[in-house]
Amino acid sequence: MKRTGAAITLGLRQNIAQFMLLVSVNALVGGTLGQERTVLPLLADQVFHLDLYTSALTYILAFGLAKAATNYFAGTLSDRYGRKPVLVAGWLIAVPVPLLLILGPSWGWIVAANVILGISQGLTWSTTVMMKMDLVGPNRRGLAMGFNEAAGYLGVAGTALATGYIAANHGLRPGPFLLGAAFIALGLGLSVIFVQETHHHARAEAANHVSVHAHAVSTLSNRQVFTLTSFRDKSLSSVSQAGLVNNLNDGLAWGLFPILFATAGLSIQSIGVLAAVYPAVWGAGQLITGGLSDRIGRKWLIVGGMITQAVALGIVAFGHSFGVWLTAAILLGVGTAMVYPTLLAAIGDVAHPLWRARSVGIYRLWRDGGFAVGALLSGLLADAFGIPTAVAVVGALTAASGLVVAARMRGTDHLRPGPRVQSSVASPNLLPA
């Protein structure tokens, strides 16, 4: 972070040391989540003998609800107390998770661990998003979100692959979760000792931010920000529904894909490869798509990404072999990479810097609520009609979500000319009190 006296400098190059540190921290956040991706569906089936898909997916439902709710509060808390304290608190909350996963004698312990993990992820991942937005300013926001989400999901992918190998050679417990414990210790240490506060960068950007209703727009209540982000503003609400559907299909992939692959006779190591390829392509692809959205715009990258995901899910539903599913996993990763950082950057384009953290938190509430919706919907469909049908239905919903964005979202390019940003948000006087 570059500061000269009381001056604050925005920009990626000017704040590169703190930016890259936060990239590393978010890779560890992703790794903490990745410890579960390969192992927990198999744990549900092989250790706890949960026959119904809906029951096996309860941990994703618990994780999604906890993370979604915490995302909302993360924005408000980071505005009130600063970004760093919220980040540190998130790491501290994660400390008992590996122990619960290793020692849990019943499925209820696993569900409880995922409630705690969801709270931790909501605080840690949300604040790394906000801090990078604070540092880079308006011009490189897509690139910043690409780096942030790439680091997180490459962390998920690498850990999913590593835990698949550990589980195949040393059993489902405790080995895979010891890796998660190491990530939590390292992430906590880096955040406490080296991460610096960035809230003053957001205030500096706000001082140069010009909008149609500058005073009113900068002082929206929590209720008004929620209403705008969720329903009233066409761009913000389009982004929120697309985020929910994106994580709906990710919840499906997380919970049911390993079971589908195991039922087809694939080995644990092959399942680990498929579980890792999807987030790996997703993660690496965001290094390209985030910056690309700064140049070509957000809207059509989002639409194309949702349609690409829908096609990939169709291939999974009708596939029967490792090679076909590997192709689908790569395609699903590409589609998600097109969407994920672009949605976050679009929120940053529209939201005023003084309530941007709250808007990001509300978007992430809807987005990560998709985990819970996906777990419940796909579990019920799989119980009633089988996994392939569940995958096909979610694919159709994903395509429909892309069409909603195409019809409803405004382009946001005109909101990113430089430090002086023009807001498209309507006057709060039009909102309910």
DSSP codes, 225-281? HHHIIIIISHHHHHHHHHHHHHHHHHHHHHHHHHHHHHHTT--HHHHHHHHHHHHHH
Asked which of 55-59, 136-140, 211-215, 318-322 is least confident by mean pLDDT, the reply is: 211-215
* Higher per-residue confidence, 401 vs 283: 401
pTM of the model: 0.77
Q: Given this model, what pLDDT does residue 374 score?
A: 84
How would residue 218 be classed by pLDDT, with cut points 50, 70 and 90? low
Q: Given this model, what pLDDT does residue 231 score?
A: 93
pLDDT per residue as tens digits for the range 220-242: 888 899 999 999 999 999 999 99
For the chain, give percent helix, strand, coil, nearest 5.
Answer: 80, 0, 20
pLDDT per residue as tens digits for the range 11-37: 888 899 999 999 999 999 999 998 887
pLDDT per residue as tens digits for the range 161-190: 898 889 888 989 998 999 999 999 999 999
Q: Residue 316 pairs with which residues in a beta bridge? A: none
How would residue 413 be classed by pLDDT, with cut points 50, 70 and 90? low
**90-115 per-residue burial string, b: 16 or more CB within 10 A, e: under 16:** bbebbebbbebbbebeebebbbbbbb
* Structural tokens at position 76: 């408000």
Domain assignments of the chain as residue spans, ordered by start? 11-430
pLDDT per residue as tens digits for the range 69-127: 998 899 889 988 999 999 999 999 999 999 999 999 999 999 999 999 999 999 999 99
CATH superfamily of the domain spanning 11-430: MFS general substrate transporter like domains (1.20.1250.20)
Q: Is the pLDDT of residue 427 over 80?
A: no
